[in-house]
Amino acid sequence: MMGELASGICCPECRQRLDLQTWTCTRGHAFAVADGVVTLFSTPFAARYLPFQRQFSQYRATRDHSIRQPAAYPPLPYGPATQGAFEWRLRQYDLALVRRLLSRRSGPRRILEIGAWNGWLTHWLAADGHAVAAVDYFADEWDGLRAMKHYNQSWLAMQMDLEDLSILPADYDVVIVNRCLQFYVDPLHAVAQARARLVPGGLLLLTGLAFMRDTAAAAERAAAFRAYLQAEGVQYFKTFKGYLDFADHAALRAAGV
């Protein structure tokens, strides 16, 4: 099933089909694999993104935001590592909701999870028998896709530019945008891209949506956090609002979400 998931993935440099055994294309572009995670960056995107990745990884490591006990990963979003953390209670709700919605569709599904992070949702989807392709910007072994090695399940993990899903096949039964829509340059375009990866009749799930009425306060908080990160030596590699408002809500509803 994993081989089937990887079928049809294209080279981000030239859009030729990739050889799934070597992660190379016929034009000689090659992509590295570490801990089962393939990095599918074009040269221009890597030049923009990698400085941010280094800066943000250093920032996260010095503040001990990540879970660094391998045994803590399989229970996620439950377990001692999540006790008292509001964000993990929200993820527990997400897990229950996603599983309930998927249970209404018979048989295992081919799922694309966008914003898979450390695999806290992915591993439950895989354990339930689904074939899962997980994509994210981050591939850290604690704070990103390479955390896959801490679980008892496996899936197809790809580090890539989430703003460009066109290198992926359009044959997924389900696409999940996991708590990251507010971090897109254009959320409506992101939804259109996600939908384009679905088979006819496929299911699109957007988790973690929160729409701000006080846009001035939301913009101020987003700007303050951006300034704080810049002071800590972290420069974003793209521009985004960092929150959703009711203009986004109206646009999404008009688009049929």
Give the chain's domains with CATH numbers: 2-212+241-254 (3.40.50.150)
CB of 157 closer than 8 Å to CB of 118? no
Q: How many CA atoms lie within 13 A of 100 on its CB side?
A: 6
3-state secondary structure at position 163: coil
Say what the pLDDT of residue 65 is: 73
Give the tens place of pLDDT for each residue, 32-46: 999 999 999 999 999
Percent of the chain at pLDDT > 70 equals 98
Tell me which residue of 65, 69, 71, 70 sits closest to 88, measured CA to CA: 65
- Cis peptide, bond prior to residue 77, ω within 30 of zero: yes
Give the tens place of pLDDT for each residue, 144-196: 999 999 999 999 999 999 999 999 999 999 999 999 999 999 999 999 999 99
Q: Categorize the per-residue pLDDT at 3 as very low, low, confident or very high, splitting at 50, 70 and 90.
A: low
DSSP 16: P
Give the tens place of pLDDT for each residue, 144-155: 999 999 999 999
Tell me which residue of 125, 193, 201 sits closest to 156, measured CA to CA: 125
